[in-house]
Structure 1
Amino acid sequence: MKKYVVLLFVLFLVSCNNSKKQSVFNLLKEWNSREIQFPNHLVFTIQGRDTVDFRIEDKYKIITYVDSIGCTSCNLKFAGWKNFMHVVDSLRPDSVQFLFVFFPKKVTEIYQSLLLDRFKYPVCIDKEDSLNKLNNFPHNMAFQTFLLNKNNKVMAIGNPILNPKIKELYMKIIQGEEIVQANEDNLMTNVSIDTRSLFFGNFNWEKEQRAIFTLKNIGNRPLVIDAISTSCGCIKVEYNKEPVHPGSSITLYVAYKAEHPEHLNKTITVYCNTKASPLLLKIVGNAE
């Protein structure tokens, strides 16, 4: 089990400073093989109707917890989960049980999102936050998703929708593949970024805002972007998927459309073959 956690630590935190690495290493060590406890009164349903038995012991479980902090659409990422679950089901049908636990600010927002996205997977609306209180989950949203074995013990921790490396790790464990830490130093390159933060200022919340980030490959190997994730579904990013040759640049075209007036402070995370990966970019402003 230890090798899974160590691999996750290496892949997920290569860009952290030493103090943060130690903090996260301690977190992963704490949760390694820890059993997730489920309150007896928890009820999982599909679209509020069909009750699901979450105590089945002959499957893997992937459980994700979403608290009440932040905007609902930013935290849920239903589209990403549906794509991931489709892949898992196509490779290992009936081998993995997905469970979603929400501690929402507004229950109506959760139900509206479930209906709009036609989300037909087991969901628990935990109004008392009882699951979190029993297990004391990490505060960082990136560490509120767990891959469990049939005894509900943690095999890996991390959100596969936010990080493609974690998704890859989960799939390897589920399919019974050997987890080997590869030495990828010879494939790494370096990048320079024109700016890491763009300020939109004050703008009409009903009007779409656009931004451009430019990444230049200043290393000796092709730059490959594995994936880009955003902290909110209100952000779209377009870019050329081809490798970027040394000395060349790639442009990320970012579009933001507010759902309502808000202070804008959103993150765009770029996963690529650099030692500084993931690269964090920000757009900031006031949607009025």
Structure 2
Amino acid sequence: MKKLTISALLAVFAFAPFYANVPASENPGVVKTVADAIKWKSESINVGNIPQGKPKLIRFEFTNTTSKPIIIENVAPSCGCTTADYTKEPIAPGKKGFVEASYNAAAAGPFMKTVTVTTSDSKTPKTLSFKGVVVS
């Protein structure tokens, strides 16, 4: 029994190098299709100086560059000081949609916030950001 176990282990180790040399997929078109499914007008926005105590609306616009409708499944602001709105209906191929963030400018000073967007074309979330300075 001991010889059988040792023989089996040796066989596994003998064939392991063959599996280690399996080449990666050479199809960058799939990655490019997913990456280009939504073309954002801007993924980062500098809003500059904004007055304290007055909410600021930041709008991120995009175009569906696929051949099928895309649905925004989830939009998650990074903190409670930001709320979000977005295009609720499916965005047809070639059409535009939006994600809006409303930042509550309560505290003076510089800020940088993010909004994470998940769509039907990719389960990998896209992070949009905006920054500025709240002045009193």
TM-score (norm 1): 0.33
Name 2:82's counterpart in structure 1.
235
Count of aligned pairs between the two proteins? 101
Name 1:199's counterpart in structure 2.
46
Match of 1:278 among 121, 125, 129: 125
Match of 2:64 among 217, 220, 223: 217
The answer to which structure has the higher strand fraction is 2
The correspondence of residues 111-260 of structure 1 with structure 2, limited to 5 A, is: 190-260=37-107
| Equivalent AA in structure 2 for residue 232 of structure 1 | C
Backbone CA RMSD of aligned residues:
1.8
Unaligned runs of 5+ residues in structure 2 are 1-33
1:109-163 C-alpha deviation (Å, 9 max, x unpaired): xxxxxxxxxxxxxxxxxxxxxxxxxxxxxxxxxxxxxxxxxxxxxxxxxxxxxxx
Displacement after TM superposition at 1:276 (Å): 7.6
Unaligned runs of 5+ residues in structure 1 are 1-187
**SS of equivalent to 1:278:** strand
Name 1:263's counterpart in structure 2.
110
Displacement after TM superposition at 1:282 (Å): 0.6
Q: Which is bigger in relative contact order (C-alpha 8 A, separation at least 6)?
A: 2
Q: Which has the larger radius of gyration?
A: 2
The answer to which structure has the higher helix fraction is 1
1:75-124 C-alpha deviation (Å, 9 max, x unpaired): xxxxxxxxxxxxxxxxxxxxxxxxxxxxxxxxxxxxxxxxxxxxxxxxxx
Displacement after TM superposition at 1:226 (Å): 0.9
Displacement after TM superposition at 1:240 (Å): 2.5
Cα separation, partners in 2 of 1:276 and 1:197, compared to 1, 3 Å: farther
| Equivalent AA in structure 2 for residue 219 of structure 1 | T
| Equivalent AA in structure 1 for residue 98 of structure 2 | T
Does the 8 Å contact 2:64/2:92 carry over to 1? Answer: yes
